[in-house]
């Protein structure tokens, strides 16, 4: 108990030194914990990316650029051939265009906040997307998924009906609700549902049956086709046949493997960075503890000599110095763990930026690292603190504890 009392007394009697060391150490341990957490999240993400992407193949008119692309479409007679290709499990057609009328106001306002504005005063238009009514859970441009919060989705017999589902933000901006009627290109279209995609641009859309969009906006064919192959091993063969129907000057064909390589590169880079930062943080934390123990030894040489002279054993001296290092490490570990909770996800977002820019939300959604900071991080923090304190204090404590009292007092 005497050793414990001396450890506590020594930590309290010099609060400036203790506080400074704990502050520096908590940053180092906090960074190490953040990187441990992010590193684990990147490993999990790398293992699941392949299954998330699956066998998807996307076909779009050549040179089309996401939401802001032109009005080019894929010829319907060519699109109809896709379902006859061997190893094609499903074909999802979609058509997209922009609403340019005056009856609706975009929810993405010029000069708005939260990522909904563009530099140079450019204002985002309202996107119109059309899907086959048999498609129960369509993917919107940008990779967003529809979550119907009010009303319903289309029925299979509404492929040419004048109905639509509106994004939550767009509905709020224009005071729309289920049952509202909106004049679109001279036709009264009824709102049958409101959805939330969780994205700024995804919630600024009108979703209609594909036949309705083609009729209202005088479009023929599809602007995008998503194909699922029946097996990942058959993707290349399917793409080869697609290329016979849609040459490179007619359409861009993107496979799951293309996206996988881009996403895998981004996540692997984050994993490498987090691993390097984790190693550096551990080294810095160890050096800080070593410095703290050496500083304690140099400042209390006389005290150690007196303790040795009155009968303190080498083990007691070692325990006292090690205990002080451990005390500061544990305090720093607790603070470092608290730092981890709010910062881990932000660090992960910085390490894995948007893989394909503003309109490549599908890639971003898959590549994005979801960091879950569990209560176990406190156990990791304490474990790291104990390990660092023990390793860093072994040699200084062992060295000073074995010096004879006369030599210590002569040095003083």
**Is residue 66 pLDDT above 50, yes or no?**
no
The span from the first CA to the last CA of the chain, in angstroms, equals 28
Percentage of the chain beyond pLDDT 90 is 25
Per-residue confidence (pLDDT) for residue 309, from 0 to 100: 76
CB atoms within 10 A of CB 31: 22
- pLDDT band at 116, cuts 50/70/90? very low
CA-to-CA separations, 112 to 31, 68, 92, 128, 294, in angstroms, rounded: 34, 19, 34, 21, 55
Position with higher pLDDT, 249 vs 410: 249
Per-residue confidence (pLDDT) for residue 13, from 0 to 100: 77
User: Are β-strands 163-167 and 181-184 bridged in parallel, bridged antiparallel, or unpaired?
Assistant: unpaired
**Is residue 198 pLDDT above 90, yes or no?**
no
Residues 25/328, Cβ–Cβ less than 8 Å? yes
Position with higher pLDDT, 64 vs 379: 379
pLDDT tens-digit series, residues 5-15: 777 777 787 78
Q: pTM for the complete prediction?
A: 0.52
**Is residue 278 pLDDT above 90, yes or no?**
no
Longest dimension (CA), the chain: 102
Residue with tokens 């996540």: 267
- pLDDT band at 242, cuts 50/70/90? very high
Per-residue confidence (pLDDT) for residue 123, from 0 to 100: 54
The whole-chain average pLDDT of the chain stands at 78
pLDDT tens-digit series, residues 92-109: 889 989 998 889 998 886
**Is residue 52 pLDDT above 60, yes or no?**
no
CB atoms within 10 A of CB 287: 14
CB under 8 Å to 325, separation ≥6 — which residues?
289, 292, 293, 296, 389, 392, 393
| Separation between Cα atoms, residue 279 and residue 68, nearest integer Å | 44
């Amino acid at each position: 108990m005497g050793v414990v009392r001396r450890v506590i007394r020594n930590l309290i009697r010099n609060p400036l030194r203790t506080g400074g060391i704990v502050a520096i150490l908590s940053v180092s341990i906090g960074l190490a914990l953040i990187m441990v957490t992010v590193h684990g999240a990147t490993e999990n993400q790398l293992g699941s990316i392949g299954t998330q992407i699956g066998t998807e193949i996307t076909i779009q008119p050549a040179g089309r650029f996401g939401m802001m692309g032109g009005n080019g479409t894929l010829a319907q007679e060519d699109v109809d051939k896709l379902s006859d290709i061997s190893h094609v499990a499903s074909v999802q057609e979609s058509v997209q265009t922009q609403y340019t009328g005056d009856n609706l106001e975009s929810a993405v306002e010029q000069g708005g906040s939260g990522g909904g504005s563009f530099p140079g005063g450019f204002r985002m238009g309202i996107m119109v997307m059309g899907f086959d009514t048999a498609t129960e859970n369509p993917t919107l441009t940008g990779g967003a998924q529809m979550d119907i919060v009010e009303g319903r989705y289309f029925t299979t017999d509404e492929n040419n009906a004048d109905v639509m589902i509106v994004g939550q933000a767009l509905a709020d901006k224009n005071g729309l609700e289920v049952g509202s009627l909106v004049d679109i290109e001279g036709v009264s279209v009824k709102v049958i549902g409101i959805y939330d995609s969780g994205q700024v641009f995804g919630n600024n859309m009108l979703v209609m049956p594909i036949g309705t969009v083609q009729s209202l906006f005088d479009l023929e064919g599809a602007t995008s086709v998503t194909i699922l192959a029946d097996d990942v091993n058959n993707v290349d063969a399917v793409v080869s046949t697609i290329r016979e129907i849609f040459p490179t000057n007619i359409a861009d064909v993107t496979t799951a493997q293309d996206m996988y390589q881009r996403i895998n590169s981004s996540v692997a880079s984050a994993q490498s960075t987090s691993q390097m930062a984790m190693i550096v943080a551990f080294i810095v934390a160890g050096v800080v503890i070593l410095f703290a123990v050496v500083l304690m030894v140099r400042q209390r040489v006389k005290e150690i000599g007196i303790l040795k002279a009155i009968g303190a054993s080498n083990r007691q001296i070692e325990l006292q110095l090690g205990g002080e290092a451990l005390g500061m490490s544990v305090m720093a570990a607790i603070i470092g763990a608290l730092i981890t909770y709010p910062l881990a996800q932000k660090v992960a977002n910085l390490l894995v930026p948007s893989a394909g820019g503003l309109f490549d939300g599908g890639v971003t959604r898959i590549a994005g690292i979801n960091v879950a900071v569990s209560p176990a991080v406190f156990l990791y923090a304490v474990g790291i603190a104990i390990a660092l304190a023990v390793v860093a204090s072994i040699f200084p404590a062992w060295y000073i504890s074995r010096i004879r009292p006369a030599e210590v007092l002569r040095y003083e």
